[in-house]
A and B are shown apart, each in its own frame.
Chain A
Amino acid sequence: MTEPARQRILVVDDEAQIRKFLRISLFAHGYEVIEAPRGEDALRKLAEESPDLMVLDLGLPGIDGQTVIRRAREWSSVPILVLSVRADETDKVEALEHGANDYVTKPFGIAELIARVRVLLRGRSEAAADETGYDRDGLAVDYAARRVTVDGREIRLTRKEFDLLRLLARNPGKVLTHETLLREVWGPAYVTETHYLRVHLGHLRQKLGDDPACPRFIATEPGVGYRLAG
């Protein structure tokens, strides 16, 4: 019996201990791991090995994580999962705006990391597949008919609320920054008007019956943005 081809993950971190436990646990979850200790190696291996996903530490010696993201995005669409420490919300937002797909705050539990990896890899195969709607975990969004149901019950949303939900649903599991949400839903002139976003997102959550302490659908990433639980 031949094993199915493992998906390959490029792990970029200068800490050998972190690479080691990531290698062991990712392998245990069925992934193959390619390691790179520095930004330069990361870009080379990204080109040579074309991995399915990159886990990237932002605080690298030499070429830093942000630069790696920018350079990689010049030619690659590989999902990038960023590792960052707390108190660096600006860095996280910057990384996401540069094209990173998601982030995990250090120190993190491996379950959290694996969940993010799965979402990103799945999102990659599904993203192109489903442009007509979203239907997962009791939440169904029909983009064309602009219909939303929660556990089969229809929810009436305003135009902005629906646009917000659709944008989140099209990027399941991915953190969308405040700036992105405002730009896409309200327009480029509104990127700093976070008050609108909070108000409408609050209404949207209420209508979906979401509890902020234990969100079923829309999770808050403080200081960064929102994500639809993937």
Chain B
Amino acid sequence: MIEDEGPLIRAATPVWRRAVPYVWGLGAVAAAGGIAYGLEKVLPLPNLSLVFLSAVLLVAMRFGALPAIYAGLLSFAIYNFFFTPPYFTFFVTHEADSLTLAFFLLVAALTGNVVGRARSQLLTSRVSERRASMLYDFSRKAAAATGLDEVIGAVKDHVAAAIGAEPLVFLPAPGNPNDPPAAIADLPPADAAAAALAWRDGIPAGRAARAGSGASRLYMPLRTARGRVGLLGVVFADGRAAVTAEQEDLLRAVADQAAVAIERAQLAAAAEDARLLSETETLRAALLSSVSHDLRTPLVSIIGSATTLSEVGEAITAAERGELVGTILQESQRLNRFVQNLLDMTRLGYGGLSLRRDWADLEDVIGHAVSASRDILAPFSVRVEIGPGVPLVFVDPVLIEQVFVNILDNAAKYSPPGGAIAIRADASGGRVAIRFADQGPGIPPEDRERIFDMFTRVRAGDSRVAGTGLGLAICRGLVAAHGGVIAAGTAPDGKGAEIVVSLPLTPPPPDDDADEGDPI
């Protein structure tokens, strides 16, 4: 019988399954007997042997030589017993009957043999086809796997498909690739010993291997050209079969493939770790330089002004004292903004940011942001325009205000003294866009994406601009947390920069409050 499904390597066939062809043979011959009995009434005797011959032929084609010979002998016995005189005896009186027996056996042996060979060829080709498609399937899965866990999952599926039971996969600890995998210590003693042996000597060990013992599984080392990557512990579905050399070959092929896939995943993970580490290092260096620069610069002014006041405060004019105090104030406010940004960045980075959404009037939020930035915006003229039909937005008002404050802070940094900063909100297509246009030098197209990265600054010609390089990165994070988009472009004057924040609108709750137009 040819099976299309099921494991490729199978335990030896149990007795009852081996008996099946003989039962079929018996059935076929019995059926032939029945038909012959019916035909006997209408046909001359010699032709009846053909009915039995057909049964033998069928058994030979279906089950091979041995069951066919069995069916041939059986047919002859029945034919001889029931259909040839002397009836109900096994005596052979005619030579023709001996010839019949000889034909039966010849047909059975020849056909059975030919069919058997064809069958086994077919089986072999199907097995090798399945094996190839399975290996292909596995390499496809292993290639698509994005991490070691997925690769191991693919290995397990693959082995399960090949032998019918899921294997154990053991990997050494990432730090100690030469020590045996720690997990084998949890196996039963005989298994642990076999696994350790397989690991140490790089050969299959345990159940069914030549070096076998009381272990319940066969342990195969997973090796690549570069060395050991792990161990495979396999057990057969019925747990009792021996492994033939051919089966061991297939297992070894599977193990080799698994080893390569695992090693590839490990190398990819190591490369990714290295990349992340270097990115983290870059970020850390940028953060350190930003912190030391942006914390220290205001501190230098603060400490300098304060010590001046404390030491020569009596000797300088009231106006000078006022100036120094003003410096201390401004610089500490700058420090405060920086610290706030660092905190926001940390909260964004650790995913600890929870939005406290509430209905908010954009005019209100923008107004509050402008008034919170009034010191920075003092040298400029700020105009706010809220387009008709801008509805309430459902946002975290504190965080969106922070976004606006950072954008205004940025606009102030690059605007010429006395320049105009225009803020305009418009709603359309289920979104509201808030535009901040300044009259500064603008942002070169190649920098328009980059300015939202951390620690990026687009320098104006002079060194007047001192930012943290955090503000706009935080804006992007906060806006994204609201499902919105922030982008940079050119102001309507064609020269300055324009930052556009686009937020999705939320449909308002049904208003069953019947107060509209109800004068008192």
Tell me the A residues contacting B by CB distance below 8 Å: 86-87, 89-90, 107, 109, 146, 156-162, 178, 186, 193-202, 211-215, 220, 222-223
Query: Taking CB as reference atom, which chain A residue is nearest B508?
Result: A195
Q: Does B365 lie within 8 Å of A213, measured CB to CB?
A: no
Contact sample, A vs B, 28 pairs, CB 8 Å cutoff: A86-B398, A90-B356, A107-B336, A156-B520, A159-B520, A160-B515, A162-B520, A193-B509, A193-B513, A194-B359, A196-B513, A197-B359, A201-B361, A202-B361, A202-B363, A212-B361, A212-B364, A213-B368, A214-B367, A220-B368, A222-B365, A222-B397, A222-B401, A223-B356, A223-B358, A223-B396, A223-B397, A223-B398
Bound: A200/B518 CA distance, A: 12
Q: Give CA–CA (A201, B511) in the complex, Å.
A: 15
Residues of B contacting A202 in the complex (Cβ-Cβ under 8 angstroms):
361, 363-364, 392
Return chain A residues, CB-CB under 8 Å to B519: 156-158
For the complex, give the distance between the alpha carbons of A87 and B355 in Å: 11
B398 and A211: CB pair below 8 A? no
Further pairs besides A159-B515, A222-B368: 5, Cβ < 8 Å? A109-B329, A158-B515, A195-B392, A212-B364, A212-B366
Interface size for B (C-beta < 8 A) is 36
B489 to chain A, nearest CB (A): 24
Q: Are B520 and A158 in contact (CB under 8 A)?
A: yes
> In the complex, are the beta carbons of A220 and B511 less than 8 A apart?
no
Q: How distant is the Cα of A18 from the Cα of B520 in the complex, in angstroms?
A: 49
Q: Is the CB of B518 within 8 A of A158?
A: yes
A199/B356 in contact, CB under 8 A: no
CB distance from A165 to the nearest CB of B (A): 11
Bound-state Cα–Cα, A82 to B275, Å: 47
**Given A158-B520, A223-B396, A86 contacting B384 (CB threshold 8 A):** no
Residues of B near A215 (CB, < 8 A) are 367
Is B398 a contact of A158 with CB atoms below 8 Å?
no
Determine how close the nearest CB of chain A comes to the CB of B2; give it in whole angstroms. Answer: 69
Flag if B518 contacts A222 (CB, 8 Å): no
Q: Known contacts A220-B368, A222-B398; decide if A199 and B511 are in contact (CB<8 Å).
A: yes
Q: Which of A89, A178, A199, A220 contacts B392 (CB 8 A)?
A: A199
A159 vs B368: C-alpha distance when bound (angstroms): 27
B513–A158 touching, CB < 8 Å: no
B residues sitting closer than 8 Å to A (CB atoms) are 329, 332, 336, 340, 343, 347, 356, 358-361, 363-368, 370-371, 382, 384, 392, 396-398, 401, 508-509, 511, 513, 515-520
CB distance from A172 to the nearest CB of B (A): 20
A residues in contact with B513, CB < 8 Å: 160, 186, 193, 196
**Do the beta carbons of B398 and A146 come within 8 Å of each other?**
no
Q: Which residues of B contact A220 (CB under 8 A)?
A: 364, 367-368
Q: Give complex CA distance A109, B360 in Å.
A: 27
On whether the beta carbons of B361 and A198 are closer than 8 Å, the reply is: yes
Whether B520 and A146, one on each chain, are in contact in the complex, defined by CB atoms closer than 8 angstroms, is: yes
Bound Cα distance from A178 to B359, whole angstroms: 11
Chain B minimum-CB-distance residue to A226: B364
Whose C-beta in chain B lies nearest to the C-beta of A86?
B340
Neighbouring A residues of B516 by C-beta, 8 Å:
158
How long is the Cα–Cα vector from A220 to B360 in the complex, in angstroms? 10
Q: Is B397's CB under 8 angstroms from A213's CB? A: no
Most chain B C-beta atoms within 10 Å of own C-beta, residue among A90, A196, A220: A220
Nearest-CB residue, chain B, relative to A211: B367
- Assuming the A-B contacts A193-B509, A198-B360, are A213 and B384 also in contact, with contact meaning beta carbons closer than 8 angstroms in the complex? yes
A223 proximity list for chain B (CB < 8 A): 356, 358, 396-398
From A89, A158, A195, A196, contact of B356 by CB (8 A): A89
Which residues of chain A come closer than 8 Å to B398, judged between CB atoms? 86-87, 89, 222-223
Question: Which one, A194, A211, A213, A214, contacts B358 given CB within 8 A?
Answer: A194
- Are A107 and B332 in contact, CB atoms less than 8 angstroms apart? yes
Residue from the set B336, B365, B520 with the largest chain A CB neighbour count within 10 Å: B520
Give every chain B residue within 8 A of A193 (Cβ-Cβ).
509, 513
User: Do B368 and A212 touch (CB < 8 A)?
Assistant: yes
- Beyond A212-B361, A212-B366, A222-B368, is A157–B515 a contact (Cβ under 8 Å)? no
A160, A199, A212 pick with most chain B CB within 10 angstroms: A212
- Report the Cα distance A109→B336, complex, angstroms: 12
Closest-by-CB residue of A relative to B357 is A194
A220 to chain B, nearest CB (A): 5
Contact A196 B392, beta carbon cutoff 8 Å:
no
Q: Could you say which residues of chain B place their CB within 8 Å of the CB of A89?
A: 356, 398
Could you tell me if B371 and A213 are in contact, using CB atoms closer than 8 angstroms? yes
Q: Considering the complex, give the chain B residue whose CB is closest to the CB of A201.
A: B361
A109, A178, A199, A202 pick with most chain B CB within 10 angstroms:
A199
Contact B392 A198 (CB under 8 A): yes
* Most chain A CB neighbours (cut-off 10 Å) among B343, B347, B515: B515
In the bound complex, how far is the Cα of B365 from the Cα of A198, in angstroms?
A: 12
A68 to B343, CA, bound (A): 28
Q: Considering the chains assembled together, what is the distance between the CA atoms of A194 and B511 in angstroms?
A: 11
Q: Which residues of A contact B508 (CB under 8 A)?
A: 195
Chain B residue nearest to A200 (CB atoms) is B515
Residues of chain B within 8 A of A196, CB atoms compared: 511, 513
Chain A residues contacting B382 (CB-CB under 8 Å) are 213
Once the chains are docked, how many angstroms separate the CA of A196 from the CA of B361? 12
Q: B347 contacts which chain A residues (CB < 8 A)? A: 87
A198 touching B396, Cβ below 8 Å? no
For the complex, what is the distance from the CA of A147 to the CA of B347, rounded to whole Å? 48
Q: A158-B515, A200-B515, A212-B361 are in contact. Are A195 and B509 (CB under 8 A)?
A: yes
B511 to A213, Cβ gap below 8 A? no
A91 to B384: give the CA distance in the assembly, Å: 31
Please pick, from B332, B370, B396, the residue contacting A213 in the complex, using a CB distance under 8 A.
Answer: B370
Q: What is the minimal beta-carbon distance from B66 to any residue of chain A, in angstroms? A: 84
- Cα distance A212–B511 in the bound complex, in angstroms: 24
For A223, give the chain B residue with the smallest CB separation: B398
Asked if B515 and A212 make an inter-chain contact with CB atoms under 8 angstroms apart, the answer reads no
Q: Which residue of chain B has its CB nearest to the CB of A195?
A: B359
In this complex, the member of A158, A162, A186 whose beta carbon has the largest number of chain B beta carbons within 10 angstroms is A158
- Most chain B CB within 10 A, of A157, A197, A220, A222, is at A222
**From residue A173, how far is it (CB to closest CB) to chain B in Å?**
17
Closest 5 CB pairs of A and B: A212-B367, A213-B367, A160-B515, A222-B397, A223-B398
Q: Which residues of B contact A178 (CB under 8 A)?
A: 358
B339 closest partner in A (C-beta) = A107
Cα-based distance from A196 to B392 in the complex (angstroms): 10
Chain A residues whose C-beta falls within 8 Å of the C-beta of B332 in the assembled complex:
107
Residue of A nearest to B397 (CB): A222
Q: How far is the CA of A93 from the CA of B199 in the complex (A)?
A: 64
**Interfacial chain B residues near A195, Cβ < 8 Å:** 359, 392, 508-509, 511
Give the shortest distance, in Å, between B381 (CB) and chain A (any CB). Answer: 13
Could you tell me the distance in whole angstroms from the C-beta of B344 to the nearest C-beta in chain A? 8
